[in-house]
Amino acid sequence: MNKKTIESVNVKDKKCLVRCDFNVPMSGGAITDDTRIRAALPTIKYLYEHGAKVILCSHLGRPKGEFNLKYSLKPVSVRLSELLGRPVVFANDVVGEDAKAKVAALKSGEVMLLENLRFHKEEEANDKEFCRSLSQFCDIYVNDAFGTAHRAHASTAGIVTYGFAHTAVAGFLIAKELECLGGAIESPRRPLVAILGGAKVSDKIGVINNLIDKADTILIGGGMAYTFLKAKGLNIGKSLCEEDKLDLARELIAKAKERNVKLLLPIDAKVAKAFPDPIDAEVPFRQVDINEIGADDMALDIGEETANFYAGEIRSAGTVVWNGPMGVFENKNFASGTYSIASAVADSKCISVVGGGDSAAAVQQMGLADKMTHISTGGGASLEYLEGKILPGIDCLNNVD
């Protein structure tokens, strides 16, 4: 997608309404991980250094359209001020009198943050009048929240699609997502190896369908692998299986073969008699060949042979796109498959793009984030992008002429 960025427009003395993703984890009113705040810093700094009046907005949590102090963005403004080393004005409302007064007083080169967008139910409803109210703070609209770009909400798309913001551009974070995710799919260095995991085939149908037309090899792991294995006639015991997706799995296997794409499945697995409850509980397990899964076994991770087999494919890759864990990685007994894949990707010389969510969490936990070319900031958004879907928050931005 060839979209204009903040570098494409003159921002000096302009009110720039910047949609950020400050949906950070909180505990007892304190931010426990400021990664998303730090990710927005390059865009914010560029804007104020170029003389813009920077008005930031975001959601936090799910306050259900009502004011709830638990979900206030006030702590974010404090942390943002610390990271920027300059004051960040905080508005106690979104489109109310306090916000209006503080925007009116804002000088070029200054930064402010509006209160939580989702204190208004009109945000998620993409209400036209709410969009109109937001637009009073907006000479230039900047979207830098890739994690919400798949949602057609007021602040992510409506303000532009209703015609209230005519100049709409991407911040640096979204520009990087488009460059890395888009480049990996549309013009990859070959071979392109896609690694897909997670629980359900139904969650990844669109991704597999899209990647069969683009990838050279697809490595399947996680619970979704066992629907494919059962579709091939194997006994999978009590392993996760979507019975209503067996025909679809056969169709995808056939489609991959027809396209000359290697669609590879586990050759061994770590199995237990029951799913760990709680998730980190110690449960007895053993490793078995994929043809030796017993009637009362539940496969919870790929085995060592599969991990080594997949690592070989990764070593020969020019580009790797990874979305979804190989097993129940939240439990230490079933984390080695996911960690082995992460290590293989980190050690390879490929261009590596990691989807958001659990894959990104595993990479962060292992301390391998700096060895990946790009880790997406959007779980659902990156998944829909890999499916080839149109993301409203990206589609509404101005195209490069």
- Contact (Cβ atoms closer than 8 angstroms) between residue 144 and residue 43: yes
3-state helix, strand, coil in the chain (%, to 5): 40, 15, 40
- Contact (Cβ atoms closer than 8 angstroms) between residue 362 and residue 128: no
Of 200, 273, 315, 371, which residue is the catalytic one? 200
Residue 36 annotated among the catalytic residues of the structure: yes
Residue 121 annotated among the catalytic residues of the structure: no
- In 9-122, DSSP assigns E strands to 15-19, 26-27, 30-31, 53-57, 89-90, 111-113
Of 19, 36, 176, 270, which residue is the catalytic one? 36
Residue 14 annotated among the catalytic residues of the structure: no
The C-alpha atoms of residue 46 and residue 140 are separated, in whole angstroms, by: 14
List Cβ neighbours of 359 (8 Å cut-off, separation of 6 or more). 197, 322, 323, 324, 325, 338
List Cβ neighbours of 317 (8 Å cut-off, separation of 6 or more). 191, 192, 193, 217, 348, 350
The C-alpha atoms of residue 69 and residue 45 are separated, in whole angstroms, by: 28
Of 51, 96, 183, 380, which residue is the catalytic one? 380
Of 327, 357, 379, 393, which residue is the catalytic one? 357
List Cβ neighbours of 179 (8 Å cut-off, separation of 6 or more). none
3-state secondary structure of 268: strand
The C-alpha atoms of residue 251 and residue 25 are separated, in whole angstroms, by: 40
Residue 380 annotated among the catalytic residues of the structure: yes
- Contact (Cβ atoms closer than 8 angstroms) between residue 310 and residue 302: yes
Query: Which tokens hold the place of 48?
Result: 């104020």
The C-alpha atoms of residue 92 and residue 104 are separated, in whole angstroms, by: 15
Active site residues: 36, 200, 357, 380
